[in-house]
Chains A and B, each alone.
Chain A
């Protein structure tokens, strides 16, 4: 297959996206209710922190606003996976029913085409809430604000996003081998809830596991340290963008490998 340019993919993405949004707009009530539901979940996370810190002044040296910063960071970094990769949830059904075969016959990258079909608007509600939390705690903590800091922030937010995307891709791709990947996806989705706690609360064994085996700590903890505690940034934080790229690449390869061996079901 001839390689297509990035511009080509960008144009195609816009076209597919427009179709998806048009069909979504016919269910306006659903869109509004879903967005409210999404914000509900985020508020619940906020409230549970508030309740915890009503009882306890700090957790392992982490104060209320620092924890909120971590929470806001994880919410913002989860937006891309929510908005652009939501079709992963439908993968198992399409593989099961045989609909997936249609992606095998298009002259564009399968992974790209599959993911571009759905844009999940309700992720934007989460983005707004996360950004608000982030700015609020940034203010309260009195962290310095400079263009360089902002740049760092953006780079490390993208890092965190890539890790989460990689985890979800890999989880969704398991359905090429085990049919029902819902439980795996559900499990990985729960990881993002664990990501909002600082890794230092764990014992060394689990600190190792959550860093190198199941890289939960890279979803929020390591990347956010760069901004949150600029004086004591561990080496793992600096290399996290590379880790993210590697993980994303591996998950993409796994996904494609599964898709390539797919041979359809039924007639």
Chain B
């Protein structure tokens, strides 16, 4: 694959998303408001128990976990399902299929630009503010490196799931419903709404066998663990890699099969 071609798409995406600087400001403000709500809610929750840690998580851990999960969501959410559904409904997809590039990579690289700007304008500010507010509760060491690796794997898994969901739109011609179902399942099962540590037993085991926990729970637990045991770290990243490969293959295969069925209205 021609890397220059991909980076051109990234660049175009960056320029395009820079048009909406005010949007980034609103997103960061929204994250801060969420921080306030989450802070008070979990403070009240922990106060009602009276112990320092619940299920191995302190109040600060929970706070960092949840706010950064939202920040991660903001920059990983590429609205792929939305775009694909729109392209299918309007027939725009025919033009995109004719491009001298695989549709899957074309979509990914056109969105990578937005991801880059979102990272610098929404994730990083939120991260820094959280680090300051929690007074150094985020361990800053080698774990940051592993966190970055883990996030990259998470982006890939998330994209595969999005692409898979988007492909379903070829069959249903419905976007909103499919997208919201995907979003709800991913956010709940990945620990982005409530940290997985709090899940009651049978549910916790089930969730651990699903790919979703690799998207938010894995990178965040890597980040929060200051000096991890090598075995535990390797398992987390290994599982992520496994899902990354599996979902990648699954989404490619499903797309290939579905493309034969494509119907485009009008013309």
Contacts and interface: CB of A to CB of B under 8 A. Distances in A.
Interface stretch (B171-179, B213-221, B231-239): B171-179
A59 B42 CA distance: 9
Contact of A33 (B23, B55, B172): B172
A262 B259 CA distance: 43
A197 B37 contact: yes
Given A36-B177, A37-B180, A197 B41 contact: yes
A44 B190 CA distance: 13
B30 interface: yes
A172 to B, nearest CB: 14
Given A51-B198, A180-B23, A184-B26, A56 B180 contact: no
B1 interface: no
A60 to B, nearest CB: 4
B177 A37 contact: yes
Contacts of B48: 56-61
B44 A60 contact: yes
B176 A37 contact: yes
Interface string B31-74: 00110110011011101110000110000000000000000000
Contact of B22 (A29, A60, A178, A194): A178
Contact of A29 (B30, B49, B173): B173
Main SS at interface, chain A: helix
B188 interface: yes
Contacts of A34: 174, 176-177, 180
B209 interface: no
Interface string B193-205: 1100011100100
Most buried by A among B20, B23, B49: B23
Nearest to A198: B44
Contact of A51 (B34, B44, B194): B194
B91 to A, nearest CB: 16
Most buried by B among A27, A51, A194: A51
A207 to B, nearest CB: 9
Contacts of A190: 30, 33-34
A23 interface: no
A126 to B, nearest CB: 12
Interface in B14-31: 20, 22-23, 26-27, 29-30
Nearest to B189: A44
B177 A30 contact: yes
Interface in A159-197: 178, 180, 182-184, 186-187, 190, 194, 197
Interface of B: 20, 22-23, 26-27, 29-30, 33-34, 36-37, 40-41, 43-45, 47-49, 54-55, 172-174, 176-181, 184-185, 187-188, 193-194, 198-200, 203
Given A30-B173, A36-B181, 13 more contacts: A33-B172, A36-B177, A37-B177, A37-B180, A40-B184, A44-B187, A48-B193, A56-B48, A178-B22, A182-B23, A187-B30, A190-B34, A202-B36
26 contacts: A29-B174, A30-B172, A34-B176, A37-B176, A37-B177, A37-B178, A37-B181, A38-B177, A41-B180, A41-B184, A48-B193, A51-B194, A52-B194, A52-B198, A55-B49, A55-B200, A56-B49, A60-B44, A60-B48, A183-B23, A183-B30, A187-B26, A187-B29, A187-B30, A194-B33, A206-B40
Question: Which 8 A-B residue pairings sit nearest by Cβ, starting from the closest?
Answer: A33-B177, A37-B177, A30-B174, A34-B177, A183-B26, A201-B44, A37-B180, A60-B44
